[in-house]
Amino acid sequence: MDSGQLSTRRMSDGTMMVELRGELDLASTTALHDQLSADVIAMRPPGVVVDLGLVTFMDSTVLGALISVRRNARDVGAWLRVVNPSPFVARLLRITGVDQTLGYQPGAG
């Protein structure tokens, strides 16, 4: 990805843990979507946790990509949840109305 970074690992219970870092915007959306979707389809995890703790900026195109990855996860029988957003990202999730869609629960991680 151009300005942001992504790392994926499998937890002992099979859950796919994804850590996003940096500035995520239109320039990184396609790569983010394509890599996450490919990982979900290949790994077929029971669930996907997307850690947003190191994201310094995110725009609405990235939210759209995450919603699309959530659909891919559901197609393979997995759930997807975002956790640990910065106050900026948490506000973006809330004001765009995708917080519940992406499984974000304030105070839950």
53 token code pair:
């703790």
Quick count: other Cβ atoms within 10 Å of Cβ 100?
10
pLDDT at 106: 81
pLDDT along the chain (109 residues), means of 10: 77 96 93 94 96 93 96 96 94 94 79
What is the CATH class of 4-96? alpha beta
Q: Is the pTM here over 0.75, yes or no?
A: yes
Secondary structure (DSSP) of the chain: --SEEEEEEE-TTSPEEEEEEEEESHHHHHHHHHHHHHHHHHH--SEEEEEEEEEEEE-HHHHHHHHHHHHHHHHTT-EEEEE---HHHHHHHHHHT-TTTTT--TT--
